[in-house]
Amino acid sequence: MATTVRLAWCLGIIAISILQPCACQYFPVLDHDKYMYHAIRLSPSSASDANTPDERAANVATHAGCQLLGRIGSLHDHYLLASPKRDLMKRHNHMDVAEVIGAHDHVIWTQQQIPTKRLYKRSGPPTHTNNTISTGSGSGGTVDQASAAKLYFESVTSRLQIKDPGLQHQWHLFNPNQLHNDINVTGVWEQGISGNGTVVCVLDDGVDYEHDDLKDNFNVAGSYDFNDNNPMPRPRLHDDRHGSRIAGEIAAARNNMCGIGVAYNAQISGVRILSADITEAQEAAAVNYAMDVNEIYSCSWGPSDDGRTVDGPGLMVQEAYRTAIEKGRRGLGVIYVFASGNGGGAHDTCNFDGYANSPYSITVAAIDRTNGHPTYSEACTAVLASMYSSGAGSYIFTTDKGNGNCAGNHGGTSAAAPIVSGILALVLEVRPDLSWRDVQHLVVNAAVPFNSSSQPDWEPTYHPERQFSIKFGFGRLDAYKIVQIAKTWKNVAPNTILTTNVSWVDRAIPQDADGISNIIEIGNDAIQKAGLTRIEHVQVVVTISHSRRGDIEVKLTSPNKIESLLAERRSGDMSGDGFQNWTFMTVKHWDEPPLGQWKLTVIDRVNPSKSGTWHSWYLKVWGESNGSTVIPPQPSTTSTATLASPSRGPSSTPNTISVPPSSGVSFAKWIIAGAVVVVLAGMAVVVLGVYKYGRKFFPSSRKRGKGTSASDSYEFKILDDDDEELDNVFGEYHDDAVEEDGGGGDGRLGKTDVSKEGFAGVKLVP
């Protein structure tokens, strides 16, 4: 029986390799002890150049004496090269190869690839602490109202045949103690909307695809393990449970196991990137993997939440996000959902996180079951909406790693973002034609403000019926409301970006509460040239030198007197690097007209012995076009530095690289795969028959010793982190490869400070 199961598994993997060729055409695990790896970006080809990008990259590799490993993910003009270190020993210095590569006419950018830790999970604080500082007024209702609501919920689950035993603990789906403090999803389910036909990718530390709550909804074509270079994203390390918990929140099946997902008929894929050091090239290949299969990417991770880090995606990763927005989901753009971060207790905010404050991201903060603000949840003007998670003594109940295991202590903004991902899967089932910007507009319009009387953070916006809070965004997302709005939503016009000229300030920042201000005026000519009709996102790119970065406050005031607090003081940020072309972002000005004077104010009111100078700033205003002029999304979309003055330190790259994912499985491939599986199955039957009956007629002259079968020990070897043989295969990461959650933001691979020197190993070619 065991042999038959293993045989079936092997046949399945072979079929996967046929149906999903791009997912399985991966490079061998990279050996950083023996080789140096270089990512390159090719220059645009001229009309007279008949060579393909692959041929041009091969020319570069040959010229530099390197091996061409292939294209990096879906980036059509980025390639990875390898140079043996033994050859480097013969050269005068190790930078010769990078210089030769960078000097080639076909190359406009090159970067050495070094694995590093720079992404961390957004897990919740320790479960023994009370994590709320402000408690909302939870609408408890009367005993009669609570009883009636509970009877209604029981009747709904009975009609839908939901019998999952953990449902009683999933208060975020139905909250009997604080009535209406939940996602309001039962009315959507009763319409037969449960995520059918949608695929949500969990970018994390793996997904337990063999768990009974996940296996029926698991999507193989959208999955890959970039840490171990494997088609299946198995959670291998002892603390690789984060992704499985997230997957359960989104799409745990309707069965008799644990609880149920928000979109319990959606499909879940897994891309594993958080369980080992990664390089920037590896990250770039992962973040838009299978972007025509995966529609929503749920991302509960980011740079360190330590209150002193300023970091964002590197140049290749920015390009990967842009590619997914322009070309993913059949040209509609994939949906990125990011957790805002768990550094609130360290006075961190998400505007120092270049993933969370990207216009491409739907950034989600956390609220507890009483609509209170948990201390861990990071606030900033990039937060689009908020969602339920741990706090006030409660947690999120979901699946866990290990078949039959459930988790009752899931939390943090890690748990808030996946619930939004599940809600958006319901939306895409109803309206698969929505663009990435349509979805963001729906979130803005369907978010529900709460506790407006007891929460002083709610502030008016230009829209007369819309409030905004840096803690909660435009409010908590209501599943029923957003699905109903989506049904009749008119798709927005294409986007455009208005970029102003740089305003050179070059003035010392005074030590007072007023600070220093500067104005950029946006006139009618610029608006008409960009074709901009209404604002969606506003980016502010600043360069400020300061001997203590955490003292700086930055505030933007629109022509309509709407203020966005872009940067708050961070007492733990003692870096002297300042902000080198760092990009802040705000969504508070959504739907405002751009015409008029925009004022930026920089304040330094503490520590007189620490001073600074404001050098420059400019605006990038994203919004809806009038159709006459459309400027496509630009590569510099997340908060990061420009090439001339980079704001982050050494970038990362992969232990493995994948070529671009396939855009889907054709009917012909299904036929071929089926034929191959049939042939292989027939061969297997013959082999098994010979094995079974051959021993009867032709007894073996020797016996295999017990435990010597490679297949018998395979599963053990995969899970045994101390196995010496596996160390050589999978690299140097054991149980401590991902740090234990310490309370603030756990397990992410990150650096602490921004480096003035910029990208290590980067050579810019004019």
- Give the contacts of 483 (CB within 8 A, at least 6 positions apart): 188, 191, 193, 426, 427, 430
Q: Give me the long-range contacts of 448-457 (CB less than 8 A, separation at least 24).
A: 448/475, 448/476, 448/477, 448/478, 448/481, 449/474, 449/475, 450/136, 450/367, 450/371, 450/475, 450/476, 451/136, 451/137, 451/371, 454/136, 454/137, 455/134, 455/136, 455/373, 457/373, 457/379
Is there a contact between 553 and 523 (Cβ–Cβ < 8 Å)? no
pLDDT, tens digit, for every residue of 591-620?
999 999 999 999 999 999 999 999 999 999
pLDDT, tens digit, for every residue of 446-504?
999 998 666 788 999 999 999 999 999 999 999 999 999 999 999 999 999 999 999 99
Q: Please give the average per-residue pLDDT across 366-388, as a whole number.
A: 97
Element holding 78 (H helix, E strand)? strand 78-84
Rounded Cα–Cα distance for residues 416 and 581 (Å): 31
Q: Is the pLDDT of residue 345 over 90?
A: yes
- Among 82-91, 358-367, 419-428, the range scoring the smallest mean pLDDT is 82-91
Could you tell me the CA-to-CA distances from 5 to 1, 9, 613 in Å, in that order?
6, 6, 67
Q: Give the model's confidence band at 46: pLDDT under 50 very low, under 70 low, under 90 confident, else very high.
A: confident
Q: Where are the beta strands (DSSP E) in 381-502?
A: 383-388, 396-399, 406-410, 447-448, 459-460, 467-468, 476-477, 495-499
pLDDT of 147 reads 80
pLDDT, tens digit, for every residue of 472-487?
999 999 999 999 999 9
pLDDT of 246 reads 98
Task: Provide CATH 2.60.120.260 ranges for the chain.
Answer: 495-625
- What DSSP assignment string belongs to 115-144? -B--BEE-PPPPTTS--EEE--------HH
Is there a contact between 208 and 202 (Cβ–Cβ < 8 Å)? no
- What DSSP assignment string belongs to 250-271? HH--SSSSS---TTTTSEEEEE
CA R_g for the chain: 27
DSSP 739: P
Element holding 364 (H helix, E strand)? strand 361-367
If you average pLDDT over every residue of the chain, what do you get?
Answer: 81
Q: Please give the average per-residue pLDDT across 547-568, as a whole number.
A: 98
Choice among 83, 123, 394, 414 that is catalytic: 414
pLDDT greater at residue 763 or residue 667? 667
Q: Give the model's confidence band at 711: pLDDT under 50 very low, under 70 low, under 90 confident, else very high.
A: very low
Rounded Cα–Cα distance for residues 751 and 645 (Å): 19
Which candidate, 338, 311, 345, places its Cα nearest to that of 133?
345
Q: Is the pLDDT of residue 670 over 60?
A: no
Q: Is the pLDDT of residue 736 over 70?
A: no
pLDDT of 596 reads 98
Rounded Cα–Cα distance for residues 227 and 278 (Å): 7
Q: What are phi and psi of 553, to 5 degrees?
A: -120, 140
Which candidate, 637, 605, 602, places its Cα nearest to that of 617?
602
Choice among 32, 242, 441, 537 that is catalytic: 242
pLDDT of 696 reads 42
- Among 96-110, 296-310, 751-765, the range scoring the smallest mean pLDDT is 751-765
Q: Percent of the chain, pLDDT > 90? A: 67
Choice among 77, 182, 204, 306 that is catalytic: 204
DSSP 473: B
pLDDT, tens digit, for every residue of 218-269?
999 999 999 999 999 999 999 999 999 999 999 999 999 999 999 999 999 9
What residues form DSSP beta bridges with 597? 521
Q: What are phi and psi of 297, to 5 degrees?
A: -110, 115
Q: Is the pLDDT of residue 505 over 70?
A: yes
pLDDT greater at residue 556 or residue 707? 556
CB atoms within 10 A of CB 324: 25
Rounded Cα–Cα distance for residues 583 and 566 (Å): 10
Q: Give the model's confidence band at 677: pLDDT under 50 very low, under 70 low, under 90 confident, else very high.
A: low
Break the chain down into helix, strand, coil percent, rounded to 5: 25, 25, 50
User: pTM for the complete prediction?
Assistant: 0.79
Please indicate whether residue 242 is annotated as part of the active site: yes
CATH 3.90.1150.10 fits 125-487, yes or no: no
> Highest-confidence range of 44-53, 131-140, 507-516, 737-746, by mean pLDDT?
507-516
CATH topology of domain 495-625: Jelly Rolls (2.60.120)
Distance of CA 419 to the CA centre of its chain: 14
pLDDT of 22 reads 42
pLDDT greater at residue 630 or residue 640? 630
pLDDT of 79 reads 96
Q: Please give the average per-residue pLDDT across 701-730, as a whole number.
A: 29
748 half-sphere exposure, CB direction, 13 A CA radius: 30
Rounded Cα–Cα distance for residues 754 and 308 (Å): 9
Give me the sign of the Cα torsion angle 135, 141, 147, 151.
Answer: negative
pLDDT of 378 reads 98
Q: Percent of the chain, pLDDT > 70? A: 73
DSSP 379: -
Which stretches within 475-589 are classed as H helix? 479-487, 524-530
- Among 93-97, 327-331, 497-501, the range scoring the smallest mean pLDDT is 93-97
Q: Is the pLDDT of residue 74 over 60?
A: yes
What residues form DSSP beta bridges with 132? 374
Please indicate whether residue 204 is annotated as part of the active site: yes
Q: Give the model's confidence band at 655: pLDDT under 50 very low, under 70 low, under 90 confident, else very high.
A: very low
- Among 255-264, 577-586, 688-697, the range scoring the smallest mean pLDDT is 688-697
- Give the contacts of 503 (CB within 8 A, at least 6 positions apart): 518, 519, 520, 616, 617, 618
Q: Which phi-psi region, left, alpha or beta, contains residue 520 (left: φ > 0; alpha: ψ -120 to 50)?
A: beta
pLDDT, tens digit, for every residue of 506-532?
999 999 999 999 999 999 999 999 999
Rounded Cα–Cα distance for residues 297 and 247 (Å): 11
Q: What are phi and psi of 339, to 5 degrees?
A: -75, 140
pLDDT of 296 reads 99
